Structure 1
Amino acid sequence: MTRFVHEVHMRWSDMDAYRHINNTAYLAYLEQARVAMFFHRNEGFSSGTVIRRHEIDYIRPIVYHPEPLRLELWVDTIRGASFVVHYEVLDGDRVAARASTTCVTIDFDADAPRRLSDEERAILRGFADEPA
C-alpha cells in the first residue's frame, strides 16, 4: 500500500513570535493525520491506543499560508502491544519535518497494555510503506 496522505490546515495562531509555525503545533498536525488514518480503516481495533513517544526532526521552518500542509504516514515496527507511525510533513513539495509516534494498544478496563490481535496486525500492515 502507498503511504496514507492527509492534508492539515494551519491556523494563524500556530505561528509564533519568530514568524514561523511553532514546534508545538506539529503535535496537533500529527494527531489530526494519525486519527484520520485510523478512522479511514478502523474496522478491527477492539480498544484504544495511547501514545508512548513522539520524535520530531525539524528540517525547515514553515511560514503560515492558507494552503494545507501534506502529511504522509506509514506504520512499521509492529510488536506485541505497540507499533510506530512515521510521518513526513510537506510544505508544498519540500519536506519540513520528519516524525514518528510510538503507539501502545491498551485495555482501558484493566489499565494495562494488551497484545495486538491478528486482525489489528493485518490492518497495521496495510499501512506499511511501499518498498523503495
Structure 2
Amino acid sequence: MAGQTVEVEVPMRWADMDAYGHINNVNIVRMMEEARIAAFGVPGGTGRPGAEPAVDLFSTVPADTQTLVVEHRVRYVRPLDYRNVPARVSVWVASAKAASFELAYVFRDPVDGHECVRATTTLAFFSTTEQRLLRVPAEHRAALAAYAGEPLFT
C-alpha cells in the first residue's frame, strides 16, 4: 500500500448482534460510518465528537457543502462475532476522482485478528447552494493522497 492506513477501533454494541451471535449486516454499515468518522473526522457543520479523529480531512469543507455517501460495497469474509471489545478497522483511500473518492475498510476480529469484512464507501461533496456535486478541492485531494492505497475490490 502506497499511502498510510488509519487504524481505528469501533465498539460493538450488544444490540448490533443478531440471533447467530455475530454483528448483523445492517450494523456493519453503521460501523463503517463510525470508522470513517474516527479516522477522518466529521463533515463540516455537523458537530464534533468528544474524540478528535486520527486525521481531520472532512471538517474543513465550506458551510454550504455536504459530504454525501454515494455508494457502499460490503463483502462478508467471515462472521464478525460479537465481542465486548471494539472491532479493529483499517481505513484508507482506495481511489480519488475529480468529483468523488472511495474509502476502503478492513474489519478484523479484535480477539483472533481474522479478517471479517472488506468494504468501501464512495463519497462526494455536494453544494446545497448550487444543488450539484462539486469537484474535490485541491487541498482535499492532497490530503486524501497521503492515505491513498490499493483498491479493495477489482
Instruction: Check whether TM > 0.5.
Output: yes
- One-letter amino acid of the counterpart of residue 78, structure 2: R
**Pairs aligned (count):** 130
Give distance in 2, aligned partners of 1:44 and 1:117.
Answer: 11
CA distance in 1, matches of 2:25, 2:131: 31
Aligned equivalent of 1:118: 138
Contact 1:44–1:123, Cα closer than 8 Å, also in 2: no
Normalized per residue, the structure richer in helix is 1
- Aligned partner of 1:41 in structure 2 is 56
Where structure 2 has 5 or more consecutive residues not aligned to the other structure, the ranges are: 42-54
2:16 to 14, 30, 43: 14
Unpaired segments of 5 or more residues in structure 1?
Answer: none
1:91 aligns with 2:109: yes
Q: Is the 8 A contact 1:41 1:123 kept in 2?
A: no
Letter in 2 for 1:98: R
* CA distance, structure 1, for counterparts of residue 83 and residue 35 of structure 2: 19
Work out the CA distance in 1 between the residues paired with 2:39 and 2:86.
Answer: 17
Task: Provide the alpha-carbon RMSD of the alignment.
Answer: 1.6
CA contact (8 A) 2:80 2:117 kept: no
What is the match of residue 148 of structure 2?
128
Distance 1:8 1:76 in 2: 20
Counterpart amino acid of residue 110 in structure 1: E
Compute the displacement of 1:45 (Å): 3.0
More RCO (CA 8 Å, sep 6+): 1
- Return the structure number with greater strand share: 1
When normalised by structure 1's length, the TM-score is 0.90
How far apart are 1:44 and its partner, in Å?
4.2
User: TM-score, structure 2 length as denominator?
Assistant: 0.78
| Correspondence for 2:125 | 105
Q: CA deviation at 1:48?
A: 2.5
The 1-side partners of 2:144 and 2:5 are apart by: 12
Amino acid of the residue matched to residue 88 of structure 1? V
